[in-house]
C-alpha cells in the first residue's frame, strides 16, 4: 500500500497569515494514464470531510481561492494564503493512483 505522510501534525497559525501542509507518498503518484490522483480534504470539527483540491491543484467548486495545491511525484503541498477562522480543522491528503486508496494521517490547523 502507498503510505501518505503529512507534516506537520499540527499548525498553529495567526489569522490572516499563511499556512502550508506537506504530504509525501511512499511511491510516485503519477498514474500510467499521465494523471496524478492526489487530493486534499478538509474536515471541520464535527463535520464530514469536504473536498478542497483534486489532481494536485484543481480547486473544487466553491472552494475559496486562498487554497492552492502543488507538487509532483511524491511531494505535495497545500497552501492557505491567509488563514481565516473558518479554516480551523484537520486537513488530509489522499491518493487514488494505486489500489487501495490511502489517506495521510491529517494535519490540524488551529488559530494561535
Partner 1 sequence: EVQLVESGGGLVHPGGSLRISCAASGFSFRNYRMHWVRQAPGKGLVWVSRINRDGSTTDYADSVKGRFSISRDNARNTLYLQMNSLRAEDTAVYYCATAISIFGSGSMDVWGQGTTVSVSS
Q: Which positions touch partner 1 (CB under 8 A)?
A: 35, 37-39, 41, 43, 48-51, 54-55, 58, 60-61, 90, 92, 94-97, 99-106
For partner 1, the closer CB: 16 or 61:
61
Enumerate the β-bridge partners of residue 9: none
Between CA 40 and CA 52 the distance in angstroms is 6
Record the cell numbers describing residue 8, joined without a space. Answer: 506537520
CB of 82 to partner 1, least distance (A): 25
How many other CB atoms sit within 10 Å of the CB of residue 27? Answer: 13
For partner 1, the closer CB: 15 or 21:
21
Amino acid at each position: 500500500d502507498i503510505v501518505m505522510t503529512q507534516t506537520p501534525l499540527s499548525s498553529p497559525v495567526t489569522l490572516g497569515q499563511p499556512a502550508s501542509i506537506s504530504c509525501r507518498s511512499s511511491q510516485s503518484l503519477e498514474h500510467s494514464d499521465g494523471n496524478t490522483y492526489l487530493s486534499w480534504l478538509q474536515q471541520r470539527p464535527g463535520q464530514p470531510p469536504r473536498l478542497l483540491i483534486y489532481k494536485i491543484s484543481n480547486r473544487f467548486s466553491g472552494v475559496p481561492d486562498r487554497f492552492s495545491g502543488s507538487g509532483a511525484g511524491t511531494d505535495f503541498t497545500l497552501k492557505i494564503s491567509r488563514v481565516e477562522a473558518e479554516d480551523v480543522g484537520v486537513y488530509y491528503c489522499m491518493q487514488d493512483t494505486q489500489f487501495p486508496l490511502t489517506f495521510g494521517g491529517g494535519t490540524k490547523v488551529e488559530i494561535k
